Amino acid sequence: MTTKPMHPETIVLHEGFRNDDPTGAVAVPIFQTTSYQFDNTQHAENLFALKELGNIYTRIMNPTCDVLEKRIAALEGGVAGLALGSGQAASTFAVLNLCQAGDNFVSSTDLYGGTWNLFANTLKGLGVEVRFVDPSDPEAFRNATDERTRCYYAETLPNPKLNVFPIQEVADIGRELGVPLIVDNTAAPVICRPLDHGAAIVVYSTTKYIGGHGTSIGGIIVDGGNFDWENHGDRFPTLTQPDPSYHGAVWTEAVKPLGPIAFIIRARVILLRDIGAAMSPFNAFMFIQGMETLPLRIRAHCENGSKVARFLADHPKVSKVIYPGFQDGEARRRADTYMAGGYGALVGFELQDGSEAGRRFIDSLQMVYHVANIGDARTLAIHPASTTHSQLSPEDRLATGVSDGYVRLSVGIEHIDDIVADLSQALDAV
């Protein structure tokens, strides 16, 4: 294409692929191959030395994954992407690309339970210290920072608390101190572009809205290309010091001819090479299919989400509705600033009779699915206290915003009357 697609509706259909050569196929092919024939020994040597970019082995890159990476990077306004086997792999890689044993990073307390566990336990076991801070005060990020702090981490629309994160406020503090902000934008694709608000890196679980079909697990990292790693060289030895596992390459220097992609190249050729959490080409194909309707679906999700929130707010058995559009004060200002495209489709609510009522509600649903997932085209519900958040200590669970009576809905794109009818009959049964 000679014109560059600029709008989400166009990017998801056109970015990074026109048609296959020589078949002319318009659908992105599934390149189900492990390896790639080199032209000659010089070509192979150039690829391994990164003098030329090209396919070597599917653990590290694949042409189907490449199209997905280009589309999501373009959607986010970033410079490059890296597709991985799951959202968990994406957050792990994003942090470990900067942190080594003895380092620390500062994270919002408002996180998906699996990410909380990863940070509080698994990364701690590797010698990487997470410092959790309450994001309602952005200055808490500054106060927790020292010379071994390598990054900040947060979710745009934290699941299940649903308090929109102060992206620009924290990114600005980070840029002053030389600390990049990594944002998990899983719950707000298209609605929010964290890089526009100062974030340096975006991660996704593509398992959710990006796919929308609920068929495939995957994740992606997008490099904003907007952070000056060299300017704060001492903070980022993984990028600015010679890498002994890649013949002494200094990533910030080695990739200069290729653009501001030191972060994502290092994640690919070191972490993905060594840890191997690659996305399968088949799953990349599935995400490409799902993504073609992402902007349309997100509009429908947001519309249904706000109608469901209104229905619940008016229901006598519901004591509280948690939804960005219903907040006031500073939380509402953040929702309006960062979720300019809509308040999303995650709706939390609390039932007057607590945990038992929450369980009875879930057990009475007939159409809505009871699953541990969000972002499917179908409406989904879960009782986090007894499922996704049951492995957390009671204190940690409350810190993530999950009370005993909390029910989380991921509102789908079915007809709104059918969604409300099912919620209504399940509330009657409570």
Instruction: Summarize as ranges the residues that interact with ligand PLP (CB under 6 A).
Output: 86-88, 112, 114-115, 155, 159, 184, 186-187, 205, 207, 217, 219, 374
Q: With respect to ligand PLP, which residue has the nearer C-beta, 87 or 166?
A: 87
Helix locations, 340-415, DSSP H: 354-364, 394-399
Question: Which amino acid makes up residue 417?
Answer: D
What distance in Å separates the CA atoms of residue 139 and residue 136, rounded to the nearest whole number?
9
| Residue 415 CB burial class (10 angstroms; 0-12, 13-18, ≥19) | exposed
| Residue 178 φ/ψ, nearest 5 degrees | 80, 35
CB of 189 to ligand PLP, least distance (A): 11
Q: With respect to ligand PLP, which residue has the nearer C-beta, 197 or 408?
A: 408
Q: With respect to ligand PLP, which residue has the nearer C-beta, 93 or 112?
A: 112
Cβ neighbours of residue 276 closer than 8 Å, sequence gap 6 or more: 59
- Find, among 357, 371, 384, 362, the residue nearest to 412 by Cα: 371
- Find, among 94, 424, 367, 235, the residue nearest to 107 by Cα: 94
CB of 219 to ligand PLP, least distance (A): 5
Q: With respect to ligand PLP, which residue has the nearer C-beta, 114 or 354?
A: 114
Q: Helices 167-177 & 329-338, crossing angle to 10 degrees?
A: 80
CB of 344 to ligand PLP, least distance (A): 12
CB of 22 to ligand PLP, least distance (A): 36
Q: With respect to ligand PLP, which residue has the nearer C-beta, 155 or 350?
A: 155
CB of 356 to ligand PLP, least distance (A): 25
Using left for φ > 0, alpha for ψ between -120 and 50, and beta otherwise, residue 121 falls in alpha
- Find, among 391, 411, 425, 407, the residue nearest to 354 by Cα: 407
Q: With respect to ligand PLP, which residue has the nearer C-beta, 64 or 207?
A: 207
CB of 256 to ligand PLP, least distance (A): 32
CB of 89 to ligand PLP, least distance (A): 7
What distance in Å separates the CA atoms of residue 378 and residue 367, rounded to the nearest whole number?
9
User: Partners of 416 in the beta sheet?
Assistant: none
Q: With respect to ligand PLP, which residue has the nearer C-beta, 173 or 203?
A: 203
Q: With respect to ligand PLP, which residue has the nearer C-beta, 372 or 421?
A: 372
CB of 316 to ligand PLP, least distance (A): 31
Cα angle at 234 between 148 and 77, to 5 degrees?
90
Cβ atoms of 206 and 219 closer than 8 Å: yes
